[in-house]
Amino acid sequence: MKLGNLEDLFIDELKDLYSAETQLIKALPKLAKAAATADLRAAFEEHLEQTQQHAARIEDICAELEASPRGKKCKGMEGLIEEGKEMLEQKRERAESNVTDAGIIGAAQRVEHYEIASYGTARAHAQQLGHNRAADILQQTLDEERQADEKLSELAEGMINQRANMVTAAVANR
Q: Please name the residue ranges forming H helices in 35-96.
A: 38-64, 75-93
- At 3 the pLDDT is 86
Instruction: Examine the pLDDT at 102 and tell me if it is beyond 70.
Output: yes
Instruction: Examine the pLDDT at 168 and tell me if it is beyond 70.
Output: no
- At 166 the pLDDT is 80
Query: What confidence tier does 71 reach under pLDDT thresholds 50, 70, 90?
Result: very high
**Most confident by average pLDDT, 16-20, 35-39, 96-100, 170-174:** 16-20
- CA dihedral angle for residue 139, residue 144, residue 150, residue 151, rounded to 10 degrees: 180
- The lowest-confidence range among 59-63, 104-108, 120-124, 161-165 is 161-165
Evaluate whether 34 touches 91 at the Cβ level (below 8 Å). yes
Mean pLDDT (the chain) is: 91
Q: Which domains does the chain have, with CATH numbers?
A: 6-172 (1.20.1260.10)
Rounded-to-integer distance, Cα 86 and Cα 82, Å? 6
pLDDT in tens, 11-39: 999 999 999 999 999 999 999 999 989 99
pTM: 0.90
Secondary structure letter of residue 36 according to DSSP: -
Query: What confidence tier does 8 reach under pLDDT thresholds 50, 70, 90?
Result: very high
Tell me how far the alpha carbon of residue 24 is from its chain's centroid.
6
